[in-house]
Structure 1
Amino acid sequence: MNTPSSPGLFDELIHAPLRLRICASLAPVQWAEFSQLRDALDVADSVLSKHVRQLADAGYVSIEKFAKLGRSHTRVSLTRDGRTAYVGHVAALREMLA
């Protein structure tokens, strides 16, 4: 069974194309605003929200709501477990291709 602390394991949750792209977008940064992710991935708010929620439910991302200039914003970041799972999934994909 895949666990966040098991590197090199294929992760079905992360493997879905959009969730993989979300993790890849978040991996090199501390966090990204929801709107930045939406625009970078070229998806609708509802689609991104669904996939971010699935990653959050698994403990792979954290979602933080905050106010900036009187407007509500949402920030998304990979958790430690999410980063470990993502790196492990990428390693598993590389192993398959070797």
Structure 2
Amino acid sequence: MSDGFSEIIHVPTRLRICSILAEVGEAEFGVLRDALSLSDSVLSKHVKVLEHAGFTKVRKGSVNGRTRTWVSLTKPGQSAFKAHVLELRKLAAAGDRLDP
């Protein structure tokens, strides 16, 4: 694959996480979990993979005395997601050129 294709982002759940974060900037963990219909453990696993790659940033804070976790794309994560989407568009365009 081309340099823009990311095996890390390409996993469907991680692609969806990046898509949401690219749209909203930052999401509270519970909101992200509910939007994706995932369990806490599954979302946590995927966010950790993205974080290890340097694609997401996780921050914790307190709201009304309760600990909350927010997730956002880092600048490298934004760039990697954008490049990955571009590669997917190229692949889709090749498919569009096939005879019906």
The structure whose Rg is larger is 2
The correspondence of residues 1-98 of structure 1 with structure 2, limited to 5 A, is: 9-98=4-93
**Structure 2: any 5+ residue segments left out of the alignment?**
94-100
Identity %: 52
Matched residue type, 2:19: A
**Structure 1: any 5+ residue segments left out of the alignment?**
none
- The SS at the match of 2:47 is helix
Tell me how far apart the structure 1 counterparts of residues 91 and 12 of structure 2 sit (CA, whole Å). 17
Q: Which has the higher helix share?
A: 2
Poorly superposed stretches of 4+, deviation over 4 Å: none
Tell me how far apart the structure 1 counterparts of residues 70 and 54 of structure 2 sit (CA, whole Å). 15
RCO (CA 8 Å, sep 6+): is it higher in 1 or 2? 1
Name the count of aligned residue pairs.
Answer: 93
Please provide the CA RMSD for this pair: 1.4
Tell me how far apart the structure 1 counterparts of residues 24 and 42 of structure 2 sit (CA, whole Å). 22
TM-score normalised by L of structure 1: 0.91
